[in-house]
């Protein structure tokens, strides 16, 4: 694997770690933290921090030679990077992800983003996430009408908590377990959602979200049959340490797309 490579289609559109980017005529565009962001195929992104640009993913693969399947998947997915998104944006997206598939999550995220700022990027209108205050003002009924279902109440309650002073950015500075415990106090945030927010929004690379795909991978490829999802998370963190969330993204994508079965 090359040290620095970005596949924007894979990372931004296909990997289910973010849901509001769009492919345009000349690249990929989104509003991130209220500001327009644009990425072209084959170019170095302007915001290196967002794309975790300084990390050598090839070196990570080489650290786990005892797992040839993992090395094979990482080699097969050059350019897949784990994003460092704004915490609030990851929180909203992954509350909406509960019991949903990627297509439906993307649709709901875009509906909720209708409450956020609009900019034109590459000749196309783009929407960003609403602020916590704007989402709280919209209320659960508006969100239900958008199709959010039972998640509408979760979003309203969590938006009010954040608007009233719940410090999301403080989660980045906490130890992983402390930040996880804090996140779990928010409405709509269970163990899997918490780990997604910590990984994709807080840069806690130790976070290891376990859903049905990851549970299946842990059973088939990592000798964890019979363990609960919480036990799988803990064992994976023992094996991979601070790389756990990074390798998780490759395992997840390999399982979800059938690459793991080849």
Confidence of residue 262 (pLDDT cuts 50, 70, 90): confident
Q: Which of the 8 DSSP states describes residue 82?
A: -
**Which pLDDT score, from 0 to 100, does residue 1 have?**
44
What gap in Å lies between CA 191 and CA 161, rounded to an integer? 19
The backbone region for 52, taken as left when phi is positive above 0, alpha when psi lies in -120 to 50, beta otherwise, is left
Quick one: CA dihedral 147, 153, 154, 157, positive or negative? Answer: positive
Alpha helices, H only, the chain: 8, 57-63, 68-76, 87-96, 102-112, 132-145, 151-163, 170-173, 176-183, 191-200, 212-221, 229-240, 244-257
Phi and psi (nearest 5°) for 18?
-150, 160
| Low-confidence winner among 2-16, 81-95, 128-142 (lowest mean pLDDT) | 2-16
Confidence (pLDDT) at 3: 53
In this prediction, residues 102-115 reach a mean pLDDT of: 96
Question: What's the chain's average pLDDT?
Answer: 95
pLDDT of residue 79: 93
Q: Give 2-59 pLDDT, tens digit per residue.
A: 457 899 999 999 999 999 999 999 999 999 999 999 999 989 999 999 999 999 998 9
Q: Give the active site residues.
A: 192
What's the whole-number mean pLDDT along residues 166-194? 98
pLDDT at residue 138 above 70? yes
Cβ contact 129:88 at 8 Å: yes
Tell me the whole-structure pTM to 2 decimals: 0.96
pLDDT for residue 165 is more than 50: yes
Expressed in angstroms, the distance from the first to the final Cα of the chain is: 19
Task: Tell me the angle at which helices 102-112 and 87-96 cross, rounded to the nearest 10 degrees.
Answer: 120
Is 14 exposed, middle or buried (CB count within 10 Å of its CB: 0-12, 13-18, 19+)?
middle
In this prediction, residues 177-199 reach a mean pLDDT of 98
Instruction: Identify which of 125, 128, 121 has the alpha carbon closest to the alpha carbon of residue 40.
Output: 121
Residue with tokens 């084959």: 42
Residue 168 pLDDT: 98
The closest alpha carbon to 15, from 102, 135, 112, belongs to 102
């Amino acid at each position: 694997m090359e040290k620095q490579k970005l596949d924007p289609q894979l990372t931004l559109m296909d990997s289910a770690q973010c849901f509001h980017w769009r492919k345009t005529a000349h690249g990929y565009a989104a509003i991130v933290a209220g500001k327009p962001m644009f990425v072209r195929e084959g170019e170095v992104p302007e915001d290196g921090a967002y794309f975790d640009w300084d990390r050598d993913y090839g070196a990570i693969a080489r650290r786990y030679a005892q797992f040839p399947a993992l090395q094979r998947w990482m080699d097969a997915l050059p350019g897949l990077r784990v994003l460092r998104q704004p915490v609030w944006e990851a929180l909203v997206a992954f509350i909406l992800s509960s019991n949903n598939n990627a297509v439906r999550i993307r649709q709901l995220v875009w509906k909720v983003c209708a409450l956020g700022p609009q900019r034109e990027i590459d000749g196309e209108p783009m929407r960003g996430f609403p602020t916590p205050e704007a989402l709280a003002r919209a209320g659960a009924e508006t969100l239900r009408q958008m199709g959010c279902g039972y998640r509408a109440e979760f979003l309203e309650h969590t938006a009010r908590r954040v608007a009233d002073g719940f410090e999301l950015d403080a989660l980045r500075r906490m130890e992983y377990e402390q930040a996880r415990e804090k996140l779990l106090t928010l409405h709509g945030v269970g163990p899997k959602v918490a780990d997604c927010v910590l990984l994709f929004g807080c840069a806690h690379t130790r976070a290891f979200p376990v859903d049905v795909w990851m549970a299946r991978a842990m059973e088939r490829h990592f000798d964890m049959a019979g363990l609960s999802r919480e036990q799988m998370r803990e064992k994976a963190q023992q094996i991979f340490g601070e790389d756990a969330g990074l390798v998780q993204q490759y395992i997840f994508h390999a399982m979800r797309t059938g690459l793991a079965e080849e």
